[in-house]
Amino acid sequence: MDEAILKLLKKHDSSFLSGEEIARRLKVTRTTVWKRIKELEQMGYEIEASTRAGYRLVSSPDLLAPWEVEPLLRTKRLGKPVHYFQTLDSTNARAYQLASKGSREGEVVVAESQEKGRGRLGRQWFSPPFLNLYASVILRPEIPPSQAPLLTLMAAVATAETVEQFSGLRPLIKWPNDILLGNRKIAGLLNEMHSEMDRVHFVILGIGVNLNVDSESFPPEIRHLATSLKRETGEAVSRRVFFSSLLQNLEKWYDSFLKEGRGSVLEAWRDWARIKGKKVRVTSFGEVVTGIAIDIDSDGALILKTKDGRQKRVVAGDVEYTKTK
Amino acid sequence: MDEAILKLLKKHDSSFLSGEEIARRLKVTRTTVWKRIKELEQMGYEIEASTRAGYRLVSSPDLLAPWEVEPLLRTKRLGKPVHYFQTLDSTNARAYQLASKGSREGEVVVAESQEKGRGRLGRQWFSPPFLNLYASVILRPEIPPSQAPLLTLMAAVATAETVEQFSGLRPLIKWPNDILLGNRKIAGLLNEMHSEMDRVHFVILGIGVNLNVDSESFPPEIRHLATSLKRETGEAVSRRVFFSSLLQNLEKWYDSFLKEGRGSVLEAWRDWARIKGKKVRVTSFGEVVTGIAIDIDSDGALILKTKDGRQKRVVAGDVEYTKTK
């Protein structure tokens, strides 16, 4: 997409700009101007054309494109740049590829839809076009792999915070990486890393948030388990504003983690998760453990008290709350 | 390489086989037989040709090719198959690529030389052709990333054991992953992984062992730091036999790790490392720590006692022994 013409129209806000003037400023022919206007209309930009006065931008679609998102970004590193795609197999796979080839910390991949959207443990992530957020952030922290789970907690905290800002409702983090609103999943994280045994090369924070999808659109098998911001609040949210706020919150927590260590991340996570005392059933590497959640430890592992009174530490797995507190 | 003709010659050991007979058995022309014989000679196979009696295999070169290595392998999974290359950028990079595309546990990449042989922390690994061993093993253990350092310890133990078997000398493991003989580095490990935050997808165990390289061949800047099996024992070793023994030892320790947990690996590592009481200087994420080594903990981290009497846990870094015990 050629952004120059869009920038011109946006700059002139709601006033007309003649085709001749646009052609002169961009050093192209009037036919080229006309073609590009048609392209913009194809993408959802509403442009009024008058043979006398020229062109006027009436409204912009809610795209996650860099030319829409970057003007909103108040971050120093995250989203610099945003790699934008109409569709991808999965944003994580593309980000992993980019990072393998040397992309820097803070680069973000975002797509309007995913053909093979992935959740944890090889599951699918429902990824319809132009309704939700599917983004993957490349980080290159100087930490050992054992500290990487803290980045999952961090991403969950930043996502929960953003969901609260846009819904006015208080989400719940379900260990380790689901965000629930009204007991249904509104966001999920899939974090991957490439590392040596004692040193992380890069981490990909994959974040999927259900924003404007209607509940009837969910596949039947997850309809009772999933929700969206629109479903919970009754109103559509601006995806680009949500996206830029999320990156801002992420950067804030990431900076705090790098500068001050894990303390504040753990504290915030505990606050959002309210996990203490919950009855849980955990499936971890094929084994099922039930018990009462006590806390998470400083590495982000879940500490349970089992029926026989012993403490058990769980580093990985799927959690079910067997009884809501 | 067409292995069929080599198999026939090997089967007939030191007796002659006529070109006509070979052509008949392989269903090819006698000219094709002649061409393939020339190919084998190019690779270093010594073949006696007699117009009357035919062809006879006199000797085989010490290649790491699957047709030379697989007949020696007594493993169940490791080295099934061996992916063999004359040269690669790096065996780790190729193994990582293969694993990303779905290669299974136990597949091994081996190369006669590496153009960009890599050591830890982005360093180079000296990789001249046909003299040493450069191999990368794909593993897919069902463990969290925090347990992955134990695989580094495991690989170090298996390598040290193999070096001892072939040299009759007792090597020393230097935390976390160097193998020393006579205080010089004879082998190094570069292990990488791809994982979710709580679950390993695959691990690449990269193993480089200096076998038959002469000390004068080492680049001057590492000559006083590096050694080879040949240098220490005065005799060349069969690389294919060493390679197959190493895979066998690795499989034994890997099975033990999967079945019985970390206990026996840690115990063996401690035995090979004799680290207790050593004065060390560790560079870890830009920070320098000096102290007396106490032990490694159950996650493979190094525990030091610093000058002021406090204990410090180091998960990553470069170790220097400041005084040999």
* Most A CBs within 10 Å, among B139, B196, B302, to test the A interface: B196
| Interchain proximity A316–B144, CB inside 8 Å | yes
* A199: chain B residues, CB-CB within 8 Å: 121, 316
Long-range contacts of B113-116 (CB under 8 A, 24+ apart): B113/B86, B113/B87, B113/B88, B114/B87, B114/B88, B114/B89, B114/B90, B115/B87, B115/B88, B115/B89, B115/B90, B116/B89, B116/B90
| Interchain proximity B192–A190, CB inside 8 Å | no
d(CA A128, CA B233): 65
d(CA A62, CA A241): 9
* A120: chain B residues, CB-CB within 8 Å: 196
* Most A CBs within 10 Å, among B101, B147, B189, B197, to test the A interface: B197
Mean pLDDT over each residue of chain A, to the nearest integer: 92
Q: Are A91 and A109 in contact (CB under 8 A)?
A: yes
Out of A77-86, A176-185, A295-304, B113-122, the most confident range is A77-86
β-bridge partners, B87: B113
How far A113 CA sits from the closest chain B CA (Å)? 22
* A296: chain B residues, CB-CB within 8 Å: none
**pLDDT > 50? residue B325:** no
pLDDT digits (tens, 9 = 90+) for B140-194: 999 988 889 899 999 999 999 999 999 999 999 998 889 999 999 999 999 999 9
What's the angle, vertex CA B310, arms to CA B307 and CA B313, rounded to 5? Answer: 105
pLDDT of residue B12: 86
Of A143, A199, A285, nearest to B142 by CB-CB distance is A285
Out of A86-100, B39-53, B111-125, B212-226, the most confident range is A86-100
pLDDT of residue A280: 92
* Predicted model pTM: 0.87
β-bridge partners, B279: B292, B323
Average pLDDT over residues B74-88: 96
**pLDDT > 80? residue B323:** no
Average pLDDT over residues B285-314: 90
Bond into B176 cis (ω within 30): yes
β-bridge partners, B293: B304
Q: What does each C-alpha distance from A88 to A133, A192, B162, B174, B219 come to in angstroms?
A: 13, 17, 47, 45, 46
pLDDT of residue A323: 63
| Interchain proximity B197–A285, CB inside 8 Å | no
Instruction: For A147, name the nearest residue in chain B, comparing CA atoms only.
Output: B146
Q: What does each C-alpha distance from A227 to A22, A181, A271 come to in angstroms?
A: 45, 7, 22
**pLDDT > 60? residue B122:** yes
**pLDDT > 90? residue A316:** no
d(CA B224, CA B209): 16
| Interchain proximity A176–B198, CB inside 8 Å | yes
| Interchain proximity A195–B195, CB inside 8 Å | yes
**pLDDT > 90? residue B271:** yes
Average pLDDT over residues B271-289: 90
Residue B122 φ then ψ, to 5°: 75, 10
* A191: chain B residues, CB-CB within 8 Å: 196-197
CATH code 1.10.10.10 for B4-59: yes
B187: tokens are: 């082998």
The B-side interface with A (CB below 8 A) comprises 120-121, 142-146, 148-149, 151-152, 176-177, 190-199, 201, 285-286, 299, 315-317
Lowest mean pLDDT among A183-187, B50-54, B206-210, B318-322: B318-322
pLDDT of residue B317: 83
Of A120, A144, A195, nearest to B196 by CB-CB distance is A120
Let me know if the fold of B4-59 is the same as that of B66-272: no
Of B121, B190, B194, nearest to A194 by CB-CB distance is B194
pLDDT of residue B285: 82
What would the 3-class secondary structure string for chain A be? CCCHHHHHHHHCCCCCECHHHHHHHHCCCHHHHHHHHHHHHHCCCEEEEECCCEEEEEECCCCCCHHHHHHHCCCCCCCCCEEEEEEECCHHHHHHHHHHCCCCCCCEEEEEEECCCECHHHCECCCCCCCCEEEEEEECCCCCHHHCHHHHHHHHHHHHHHHHHHHCCCCEEECCCEEEECCEEEEEEEEEEEEECCEEEEEEEEEEECCCCCHHHCCHHHHCCECCHHHHHCCCCCHHHHHHHHHHHHHHHHHHHHHHCCHHHHHHHHHHHCCCCCEEEEEECCEEEEEEEEEECCCCCEEEECCCCCEEEECCCEEEEEECC
- A69 pLDDT band, cuts 50/70/90, is very high
pLDDT of residue A1: 62
- A122 pLDDT band, cuts 50/70/90, is confident
B146: tokens are: 């925090």
| Interchain proximity A299–B144, CB inside 8 Å | no
- Domain A66-272 -> CATH class: alpha beta
| Interchain proximity A198–B144, CB inside 8 Å | no
Range B296-311 burial, b when 16+ CB lie within 10 A, else e:
beebbbbbbeeeeeee
* B286: chain A residues, CB-CB within 8 Å: 142
**Percent of chain B having pLDDT more than 90?**
78
CATH code 2.30.30.100 for A275-323: yes
The A-side interface with B (CB below 8 A) comprises 120-121, 142-146, 148-149, 151-152, 176-177, 190-199, 201, 285-286, 299, 315-317
pLDDT of residue A300: 86
pLDDT digits (tens, 9 = 90+) for B166-179: 999 999 999 888 99
β-bridge partners, B50: B54
β-bridge partners, B323: B279
**Percent of chain A having pLDDT more than 70?**
98
Mean pLDDT over each residue of chain B, to the nearest integer: 92
More confident residue, A283 or A103: A103
* A193: chain B residues, CB-CB within 8 Å: 145, 193-195, 197
pLDDT digits (tens, 9 = 90+) for A235-279: 999 999 999 999 999 999 999 999 998 999 999 999 999 999 999
pLDDT of residue A325: 44
Q: What does each C-alpha distance from A135 to A65, A168, B63, B157 come to in angstroms?
A: 12, 23, 47, 42
Of A143, A146, A192, nearest to B196 by CB-CB distance is A192
pLDDT of residue B1: 62
Instruction: Delimit the domains of chain B by residue range.
Output: 4-59, 66-272, 275-323
**pLDDT > 80? residue A310:** yes
- A318 pLDDT band, cuts 50/70/90, is confident
Rounded to the nearest 10 degrees, the angle between the axes of helix B30-42 and helix B19-26 is: 100
If we measure between CA atoms, which residue out of B228, B202, B223, B198 comes closest to residue A178?
A: B198
| Interchain proximity B192–A196, CB inside 8 Å | yes
Rounded to the nearest 10 degrees, the angle between the axes of helix A239-260 and helix A263-273 is: 130
Lowest mean pLDDT among A213-217, B270-274, B316-320: B316-320
pLDDT digits (tens, 9 = 90+) for B215-235: 889 999 889 999 999 999 999
- A177 pLDDT band, cuts 50/70/90, is confident
First to last CA, chain A: 51
Instruction: For B153, name the nearest residue in chain A, comparing CA atoms only.
Output: A197
